[in-house]
Chains A and B, each alone.
Chain A
Amino acid sequence: MVDDAVIRIAGNSQDGIQTIGGLLARLAGRTDQDVITYMTIPSTISGGPSIFQVRIGSGEILSPGDQADFLVAFYEHSFKSHIGFLREGGICLYDSDEVTPDTSDKRFTFVPVPLTSATVEAVGGTAKDRGKNMFALGLLCSVFDLDRPRLVEIISRQFGGKDESILRNALLAFDAGYAYPLGDILDLAFQLKPAVASGKNRVATDGNTAMALGLIAGGVRHGAGYPITPWSPIMEQLRVELPQYGGMFIQAEDELAAISIALGFSYSGHLAITGSAGPGLSLKMEALSWATMAEIPLIVINVQRGGPSTGLPTSVEQSDLMQAIYGSHGDCPRVVLAPKDVEDCFYIAIEAARIARKYSVPVIILSDQALSSRIEAFTEPDLAKVMVDPVLDLSPAPEDYKPYPLTGETRHAPPGTRMSGGSYPVVTGLEHDEMGHPTSNPDLHMKMTARRRNKLRRLEAELPTPEIYGDAQGEILLVGWGSTYGPIREAVSQLREKGLKLAAIHLRHLHPMAPGLEKVFDRYDHIFVIEMNDEGVYGQGQLATLLRSRFCNPKIRSICKTDGLTFKIREIISGIDDFIAVTA
C-alpha cells in the first residue's frame, strides 16, 4: 500500500495521452482520492512529443511530483527523454514494438508490453495508432488496482453518444489491456491506500474550466475575447455556456476590440470579462486605463505564458505581474489577484466579480499555463452559497445624482436610466469632477487621483492576512503567489520533517496586498520569494521587488527560475540551499 503514485505517460500528442490522463483524474476525483495532473503539449498543432503526468493519492496532493514511480513509454524518444525522470526502483512499462531499452540498468524494473500489436489484435487492423491509449489505461487499471467498474462508466460517458463503434473499440482496447498478463510486477506494484470518504461530491477539472465556471457563479454573463494560447479555452467555454444564462461572449477582431466590447457591456450595466495571455494584455492596456479613469468595472484574465513576445507559448511563467499592476500609462490603480490552484480559479473569479462591482474597478486575474491545463479534484462547490444572479438596475437616478463623489463609492447610471434631475451623464476618460464633467483643474486631478487610489486602500483594509503554513515563527519563510502554491507547501513539509523551523505564506491578493504582512515577516530570519520569473537587473524577481519596496526589508530575497516548467520541490530546496545550508 502506498499513499500516492506518480504516473508519467510519454508519447506523441496524437496518441490520446491527454485522454488517458483526463480519465484517470476523473476517476480519482470520484473515488475521493486527490489528484493533480501535469501535461506538456507541443505548440505545433499535430504530432510532436507530449506527456501527461498524474499524481493520485489518498492524502492531500499539492504538486504533480518531482519524480515518477511509473513510466509508460510509447516510443524510443519518449523512453530516452523521460527515463531520467523515473525514480530509482520505479517501473518502466514500454511498448516493445517501438522501444528497445537497455534493460541491464538495474535501477529500474522494465516491463515490455507490445502495446501497438496487442491493441491491433484486440481492436482490429484500422486501430493501429488508435486505441493504444485505452490499452495502456487498461494496463494501469490492473497495475494500480483501480476501480474498474467506475472507470468503465467514465469511459462510457466520455465516448458514448458519438459513433457507437468508437465506444466499442475503446472498451475492447481497455479490456484487452486490463486482461494482459503482466506476471509478477503486479506483486511489486502499488495499491493505493483507500481514501477517507469525505461524504461530499468531488469534481475533477482544469483551471481554465474552473475559472470560466467561477465567472458564471459570480454573476458574469457577458464578455469578449480574441484567441490565444493558453487563454482560448476560457473564451470557448463561455461562448457556449453563457447563452443558457441569457448572456453572450463575443469573439472580437483583436484584443483592442475585445476589451472595448467588454467595457461596452460593463458600461451598459452588465459586469463583463475579457482575457488573453501576455501579448494580448499588452494590447488591452490603453483601454484598461480608460476603465480605471471612467471607473467602469471589468474582469481581465491573463493566463500567463513564457515571454517576452511570442516567447514560450505553451510553457509556464509568472512574468506579467508588473505589467498587471503597472502596465498602463498614468497613475492607473487596479486590483490584481492570483489563484493558487485549480479549485481557487473558481473562487477567485467569484471574488474578482464581487470586488469589481463593489469598487467599480478593473480587476486582473493572473492565472498561468500550468494552472490552466492541469486537472485537479476538489470538493464540488456549494452553489447555493456562492451563486450570484446579476440584475440590471435601471431605476431612475435621483436629482442629486453624483457618479464620482470625492468620498464614497462610485454610482453609475447605465444608459436607459431616467435622470430625475434632467441632466444625463457622459462617461469619459478625461479627468472629470464629481459629476463626471471634464476638467483639468489641478486640484481636482489630485483629488480624483487620490479617490481612485483610495478605493484600493479600502479594499486592502478588508483583506485577510494570508494564513501561515508551518511554524508560527522560525528560520525561514517562503512567500509565493499563483500556481507555485503546491510545490512550496511540499517543500515546507519536507524541510520540517528534517527538523527545520519554517513556514510559507501565499499571496492571492497582489494589488492591493493584504495588511499584516510585515508582522509575519518579523517572525522569521530569512524570507525567500519563490516565483517563475527572472531575477532582473537587481537580483530580485517581480514579487520580491514589490515586497522590498513595500517593506524596505533586506531579509527578502528571491528564488527565481525561467525554464518554462513548474517548480520542483527539490528546486525550491536547492534554491534555499544557495543562501543557507538546509540539506546538509
Chain B
Amino acid sequence: MSTITIKRPETSEPVAKLDKKALSADHPTWCPGCGDFAVLASFFKVVQNLGIPHEQICTIAGIGCSSRFPYFVNGHGVHYIHGRAIPLATGVSLSRPDLNIFVFGGDGDGFSIGGNHLEHAARKNLNLTYVIMDNFVYGLTKKQTSPTSPVGFKSKTDPWGAQDEPVNPMRKLVASGATFVARTHAAQINHMSEMFERAIKHPGFSVVEVLSECVVFFKGSFDAANPRKGGEFPLIPEKQWDESPDDWKAHDTTDLSKAIKLAEDPWPGKFGVFYEVERTTKNDNEHALIADAQAKVGNASSQEILAKRFARMR
C-alpha cells in the first residue's frame, strides 16, 4: 500500500496486450549459446503472463555482459555504472510506486563491486526484484576471477587456479535480510519462470540467483546441475502445511536457520525458494513518514509550509 500517488495522464487508447515482439528491442549482443538468452526469454514470458502495462516496466542494470539486459527489453530502462544498479533502483522504487522495477546484473556487479549495496537494500527490504545472472566469472572483461569463481578455476588473474573462498550466494542473501531468496538455472526455463513470477509478486526485496553459463570463458560450469548434460537438478520440496504424510520433511521457507543450512549443501546444491517472509518494506516506512507529515500540515500549500518555517526564524 502506498500513500504517494502518481497522477497518470488519461488516455483513451486501449492497452495493447504485450507479446514477445512488442517486448523485444535490440537483438542481444551476447555470444551464441550464452545462458543469458534464456533469462531474457523467461523474463518476456513472465511479463506477458503477469500482464504488466508496457510503460510500467523498468529494467535497471550496472555493467557486465548480463547488465546489457535493458537494451534487449523494449521498456523503460537504465544502463548505469558498475555495481550501483541497486541504489539507482532504490530511488526509482521509493518515488515511483506505479512502476515494476527489475534489476539485472552479474556476479561481479552484485557480489563484488556492488556487494555493500546489496546488503543494505536487502536489509531495508526495498520493493524491487533483482536477478543475479551468475556465471562464476567476469565475462565482459574476458575471464578474470569473480567472487563466485570456485577454488581452482583458472582465470587470467589466477592462471594457477582461483585460491580465495568464493561467496556462497544463497547464504549471503538469506543472511542479508532479503525477504525472498531463490535459486534457479538458465537451462531450466520453466523453473526459472516460476521463480521470476514468484519473485515479482513478492512485496519487498526479492532476489533470484540464476546459474547462467558463460560459454566462452567458463564452459560447462553448470553441467552438474543440468540433467541434459548428465547432471541433476534437485528441487527444494517446500512445506505445503497441508498435513500430508511427508510434509514434515519438506523445507519451511520461513525458517532462516534452515534456509542457511540448505545453502551449505555441497555443489551443485538445491534449486527453488530458500527463504520467503513478509516484512515491512522501506517503501512502506517512507510513505508512512510522508502520510504522517502531511496529516500534520493538513491542506497547507508548499508555500504556506515553507512560510511557517521562515516565521520560526524571525
Contact = CB atoms under 8 A, between A and B. Distances in A.
A254 B118 CA distance: 12
Contacts of A222: 91, 95
B123 to A, nearest CB: 9
Given A29-B314, A260-B87, A394 B81 contact: no
Interface stretch (B53-61, B153-161, B237-245): B53-61
B178 to A, nearest CB: 15
B294 to A, nearest CB: 7
* Centre residue among A241, A415, A422 by max chain B CB count within 10 A: A415
Interface in A28-70: 29-30
Interface string A204-229: 11000100010011000010100000
A537 interface: no
A263 B89 CA distance: 9
B120 interface: yes
* Centre residue among A241, A267, A287, A413 by max chain B CB count within 10 A: A267
B289 interface: yes
B124 to A, nearest CB: 9
Contacts of A474: none
B290 interface: yes
A415 B54 contact: no
Interface in B49-94: 54-58, 70-71, 74-81, 84, 87-94
* Centre residue among B7, B91, B95, B119 by max chain A CB count within 10 A: B91
B89 A264 contact: yes
A424 B313 contact: no
B91 A415 contact: no
A392 B6 contact: yes
Contacts of B25: 423-424, 426
B55 A419 contact: yes
A352 interface: no
A268 interface: yes
Contacts of B90: 250, 257, 260-261, 264
A263 B60 CA distance: 12
Nearest to B100: A415
Contacts of A279: none
A272 interface: yes
A244 B294 contact: yes
A380 B310 contact: yes
B4 interface: yes
A254 B115 CA distance: 12
A417 B70 CA distance: 16
B314 A268 contact: no
Contact of A426 (B6, B77, B95): B77
A258 B88 CA distance: 9
B30 to A, nearest CB: 15
A466 to B, nearest CB: 28
A582 interface: no
A418 B55 contact: yes
A245 interface: yes
A381 interface: yes
B84 A416 contact: no
Contacts of A383: 303, 306-307, 310
A464 interface: no
Contacts of A423: 25, 74
B96 A216 contact: no
A395 B289 contact: no
25 contacts: A202-B314, A205-B313, A213-B309, A216-B302, A246-B4, A246-B294, A248-B95, A250-B94, A260-B88, A263-B91, A265-B92, A267-B92, A268-B99, A269-B96, A380-B314, A383-B306, A392-B7, A414-B76, A415-B58, A416-B55, A416-B99, A417-B55, A426-B25, A426-B78, A427-B77
Interface of A: 26, 29-30, 201-205, 209, 213, 216-217, 222, 224, 241, 243-248, 250, 252-254, 256-258, 260-270, 272, 286-287, 290, 380-381, 383-384, 387, 389, 392, 394-396, 413-419, 422-430, 437-438
